[in-house]
Amino acid sequence: MSKTLIIGASGQIGKMTIKLLLENQHNVVALVRDKEKLSDLNSPHLTIVERDLESDFSDAFEGCNQVIFAAGSGGNTGADKTLLIDLWAAKKAASYAKQYQIEHFVMISSIGADNPDAVEGDIKPYLVAKHMADQHLINQGVPYTILRPGTLTNEPGSQLISTRYPNDSDKAKISRENVANALYTIATNTFKRNRIISLFNGEQAIPKALS
């Protein structure tokens, strides 16, 4: 039976994804640093493990065959957390995935992580962190799907996405709900692995856009 470890389970996208998986009777291991943040979730399919990503969290991988990395340092922390979470914790997760022979690792990366040099400003160190974490995952040999969403918004999900960068850069956005539905679709289908997929709000149904 499939079991998916969600890292960053108390985050906005992480929690939406867990709810989708549990509603459809999938087994989930939710890694959080404060289990109270999931106190509203009650399911026989849910196991919660309390771990801090700045420590060793390898034991959370035991018995799982799929991993979703949905953690992030957030916009209100400094360069230290960008290094420790977006780079180092993501890198450790990819290494643990290899150690535990995980069958599929889904990484939430970011638009712009392919080429951080194309961007100047405060976002660049974050994009470098994301780039290096993605590269480390690719190098592990663990089957992966790397998702690179545009700017995240909190509008309701349209269930319609695009995997192509829009002509108008102001439209390079996607709702967190659409990202969660894309994660759910990828985690529950056997689409081709080892792909890097950009994600924006768009006009295609999610399964069709991702298949």
Residue number with the shortest CB distance to ligand NAP?
11
Per-residue H/E/C for the chain: CCEEEEECCCCHHHHHHHHHHHHCCCEEEEEECCHHHHCCCCCCCEEEEECCCCCCCHHHHCCCCEEEECCCCCCCCCHHHHHHHHHHHHHHHHHHHHHCCCCEEEEECCCCCCCHHHCCCCCHHHHHHHHHHHHHHHHHCCCEEEEEECEEECCCCCCEEECCCCCCHHHCEEEHHHHHHHHHHHHCCCCCCCEEEEEEECCEEHHHHHC
Binding string to ligand NAP for residues 159 to 198, with x set by CB under 6 A, is what?
A: -----------------x----------------------
**Under the criterion CB under 6 A, does residue 10 sit at the interface with ligand NAP?**
yes
Give, as ranges, the residues between 73 and 102 that touch ligand NAP (CB under 6 A).
74, 85
Pick the stretch among 7-15, 42-50, 58-66, 186-194 that binds ligand NAP (CB under 6 A): 7-15
Q: How far is CA 200 from the centre of its chain?
A: 15
Output the smallest distance, CB 46 to ligand NAP, in A: 15
Measure the CA angle with vertex 57, ends 91 and 194; round to 5°.
40
* Binding residue for ligand NAP, selected from 70, 182, 187, 206, defined by CB under 6 A: 70
Size of the site for ligand NAP (CB under 6 A): 23
Question: Which one, 26 or 148, has the nearer CB to ligand NAP?
Answer: 148
Q: Which of 100, 126, 144, 184 is catalytic?
A: 126
Query: Among this protein's residues, is 126 annotated catalytic?
Result: yes
59 near ligand NAP, judged by CB under 6 A: no
User: Is position 3 an interface residue for ligand NAP (rule: CB under 6 A)?
Assistant: no
Stretch of 22-30, 42-50, 144-152, 156-164 contacting ligand NAP, by CB under 6 A: 144-152
So which residues are the catalytic ones?
A: 126
Residues that bind ligand NAP (CB under 6 A): 8, 10-14, 33-34, 37, 52-54, 70-72, 74, 85, 108, 110, 149, 151-152, 176
